[in-house]
A and B are shown apart, each in its own frame.
Chain A
C-alpha cells in the first residue's frame, strides 16, 4: 500500500522551502538559501524515486494491471451532500512518472542555479519561487479531482509568471511575463467552463468517478448529458474541447503558443524547468488524465487534439529553423516536441495494444524532459560564458566549454532520434502509433523529425563550430561542479532513459503492452534525421555563403518563418484593432455613461434632497412653531376623524 505521509511530503517539502525562503530568506539565509532549497528538493526527489519504485515493483500491480490509489483525501469545501471539493493524492502510472520527472528536473535546476544565479541580489527570492513552482506542479500531478488540478494549474501559472518576470527591471521581461499570464489565463477560462460542463454532466468532480460515469455506455449521467447541446454540438463535446483548450494554452499548442518564445526572458534554468520539462507538459498530462473520456466518449475531440498537435509540431519546427536566439530555437523545439506528445494521444485508442499512442506520449514526455532540460541547461552555460543569446556572438566554443559541448551533443542526438539514445525510442513509438491510426499525421511527423534534426544541429554547429572563438575579458569557465553535475546526470538520462521498458509500466488501461519494435519501421525516421544532421553540417559546420543563398532563394517563406508566420502581429491586430474598438471602446462608453451615470444620479438625488431638508432647519423660531402647530393639527385630525 502506498505510504501517504511520504507521498504528501513530496509536494510539501518544496512548499516549506517556499515559505521559509520567501518569509525569512533575505534576512536570515542570504547565500545559504540555495542550499536549503536544494536540500529540501533532494529529499523530495528521493521520496519520489522511492514512491515510483514501490508503485511499479511492489504494490502497484494488482491482477496484471496497474491500479489507481488514493492514499489520502479530505474534504476541503462541502457544497452539498453529494458535491464537494476534495484535496487528495492520487497515485497511478502517469502521476508517478510525472513525480519522478518533476522532482528530478527540479532538483537538477536547483543544483545548477547554485552556480548560474550566484551573486544575484534576489537569490533567496529566486529559490522561494522555484519552491513554489515545484510545490504547485507536484500538487497538479497528484490531484485527485478536476477542481484540485485547476487550483494547482493556476498556481503553476502564477509561479511561471513570477519566474519569467524575475528580472523585472527589464521591460521585455515584464511584457513577456504578462503575455504568458494573460494568454494562459485566457485558455484557462476555457478550461474552467469545460470543468463546469463535465462536472455538471457527471455530477462529480473526482477523476475516477467522472471517468467511470462518462465512459460507461448507458449510464444515467451519459443519458442526461446527451440531452444538452449548444450550436448543434453536444455538451460533452464542448466540455472536452474546452478542457483541451486549457491544456493547449498551458502546453503552447498552436494557436495559443505565442507566450512560450517570449517566456525565454526568464532565467535560463527556469526555462529548463518550467518551459521545457514540466509546466508546459501539463496540458499533455491533463489530456492523459482524462484520456478515457476523450477516447471513449468524445473521439471527435481526440481527433482534433491529434491535428492540433501535428500542426503545432511542424509549424514550430519550421520557425525554429530561422530563429537566431538560441533560447528561442529551443522554445520552438519544445513546442514542436509537445506537439508530438499531443498527437500521440490524439491517434491513440483506449485499452490494449491500440493504446500505444498513450504510452508513447508519456514516454516521450519523460525522455523529452531529460534531453530538453539538458539542452536548456547547456544553453545556460553557453549564455553564462558569452553573455549573449544570439548565435552570431557564438561559434567555436567546443574547446572552451568541453563538458557543455559533449552533453549538448548528446542531447541533440537524442532529440534528433539517433539510436540508441532516449529520443529514438520514444519517437519511434509515437511514429508507430501514428502510422497505425492516422497516416496523414504520420507523414507530418516524419517530416517534422527531419526538420527537428536539422535545426538542432544548426544550433549545435553555430554554437560550437562555425567560426573560431576569441575570448575577451574575464570568463568563469563552465561555472564549476554545481553547473556541470546536472549536465552529466541529465546526459545520462538522455542516453539511457530509452531503455526503460515503458510499455510495461504505463498504458491507457494499466495493463502492460507487448513490446513490438520493428527495426525496419525505424529506417525512414532515422534516415531523415541523419539527412537533417548532414544538411546542417554542410551549411553550418564552417562559415560559408550557402545558408544565406538558401534563405534568399526561399524568399517569402523564409521571411514569414523568421517572423513566426506573423501570428503575434495577427494577435495584436485582433486585440488592438478589432477587440479594442469593437468591445473595449463601447464597454468604456457604457461604463462612463451608464454605470458611472447611475452612480452620479444617485449622488445628485441625495444631494438635492439634503439641500431641501437643510432649508427646514432655518433657525427661525416661528417657523419651528409652525411645524409643531401643523403637526399637532394634522395628528388631531387623524386621531379624531381617521382612527
Chain B
C-alpha cells in the first residue's frame, strides 16, 4: 500500500471540480446545481489542504482558507435554498428555466 502523494490528491480534486462543472451545466434541477457548486468548492478546499500539507507544512494559511470557504459555502447554501424556495412558491417549479423570468 503506497502512501498517497500530492499528485493523487490534485487528481481527485480536479476530478471533483469537473464533475461539479459538469453537474452545474447539465442539470436542470436547481438543487442539483447547488450541490454541484458545493462539489466545486470542496475540490478547491482539497487543493488548499494538499498544497498546505505538502509544500508548506509549517504554515496554517491553507487550513484557514478552507475553514473560510466552508463557512461561506454554508451561508451560500442557505441563501441559495432560500431563493429556490421562493422560486418554487411563485412558479411551482425548481427548474432552472423558471428562473429565466428574472432577467425582466
Contact = CB atoms under 8 A, between A and B. Distances in A.
Interface stretch (A48-56, A283-291, A374-382, A620-628): A620-628
Contact of B100 (A620, A625, A626, A629): A620
Contact of B25 (A618, A619, A626): A626
B24 to A, nearest CB: 6
A617 interface: yes
B21 A629 contact: yes
Contact of A620 (B24, B96, B104): B96
Nearest to B37: A625
Given A625-B24, A626-B25, A629-B21, A618 B100 contact: yes
A621 B96 CA distance: 7
B99 A619 contact: yes
Nearest to B103: A619
Interface in A601-639: 617-622, 625-626, 629
B100 A619 contact: yes
B44 to A, nearest CB: 13
Nearest to B102: A619
Contacts of A629: 21
Interface in B1-60: 21, 24-25, 33
Nearest to A617: B103
A625 B99 CA distance: 14
Contacts of A619: 99-104
Interface in B58-101: 96-97, 99-101
A621 B99 contact: yes
The listed residue with most B CB atoms (<10 A of its CB), out of A620, A622, A626, A629, is A622
Nearest to B24: A625
Contacts of A626: 25
Contacts of B101: 619
B25 A622 contact: yes
A625 B96 contact: no
A620 B28 CA distance: 11
Interface size classification for chain A: under 10
A614 to B, nearest CB: 11
A620 B101 CA distance: 9
Contacts of B21: 629
Contacts of A621: 33, 96, 99
Contacts of B99: 619, 621
A618 B103 contact: yes
Interface string A205-233: 00000000000000000000000000000
Interface in A433-488: none
A622 B100 contact: no
Contacts of B97: 620
A622 B104 CA distance: 17
A629 B25 CA distance: 11
B83 to A, nearest CB: 11
Contacts of A620: 96-97, 100
Contacts of B25: 622, 625-626
Interface in A340-360: none
Contacts of B96: 620-622
B88 to A, nearest CB: 16
A622 B96 CA distance: 8
Contacts of B104: 619
B40 to A, nearest CB: 10
Contacts of B33: 621-622
Contacts of B100: 618-620
The listed residue with most B CB atoms (<10 A of its CB), out of A617, A620, A621, A625, is A621
B103 A622 contact: no
Interface in A296-324: none
A570 B25 CA distance: 81
B25 to A, nearest CB: 5
A629 B40 CA distance: 12
A626 B99 CA distance: 16
Contacts of B102: 619
Nearest to B99: A621
B37 to A, nearest CB: 9
A132 to B, nearest CB: 61
A619 B25 CA distance: 14
A180 B100 CA distance: 68
A617 B33 CA distance: 20
Contacts of A618: 100, 103
Nearest to A620: B100
Contacts of A622: 24-25, 33, 96
A265 to B, nearest CB: 65
A622 B99 CA distance: 11
Nearest to B101: A619
Contacts of B24: 622, 625
Nearest to A622: B25
A24 B9 CA distance: 93
A618 B100 CA distance: 7
A568 B21 CA distance: 86
Nearest to A629: B21
B21 to A, nearest CB: 7
Nearest to B26: A622
B48 to A, nearest CB: 18
A555 to B, nearest CB: 86
A538 B101 CA distance: 101
B91 to A, nearest CB: 13
A623 to B, nearest CB: 9
Nearest to B36: A625
A619 B97 CA distance: 9
B84 to A, nearest CB: 12
A618 B103 CA distance: 7
A625 B24 CA distance: 8
Contacts of A625: 24-25
A619 B101 CA distance: 7
A39 to B, nearest CB: 73
A578 to B, nearest CB: 61
11 contacts: A617-B103, A618-B100, A618-B103, A619-B100, A619-B103, A620-B96, A620-B100, A621-B96, A621-B99, A622-B25, A625-B24
Q: List the 7 closest A-B pairs by CB distance, nearest first.
A: A619-B103, A619-B100, A622-B25, A621-B96, A625-B24, A620-B100, A621-B99
Interface of A: 617-622, 625-626, 629
Interface of B: 21, 24-25, 33, 96-97, 99-104
Given A619-B101, A622-B24, A625-B25, 20 more contacts: A617-B103, A618-B100, A618-B103, A619-B99, A619-B100, A619-B102, A619-B103, A619-B104, A620-B96, A620-B97, A620-B100, A621-B33, A621-B96, A621-B99, A622-B25, A622-B33, A622-B96, A625-B24, A626-B25, A629-B21
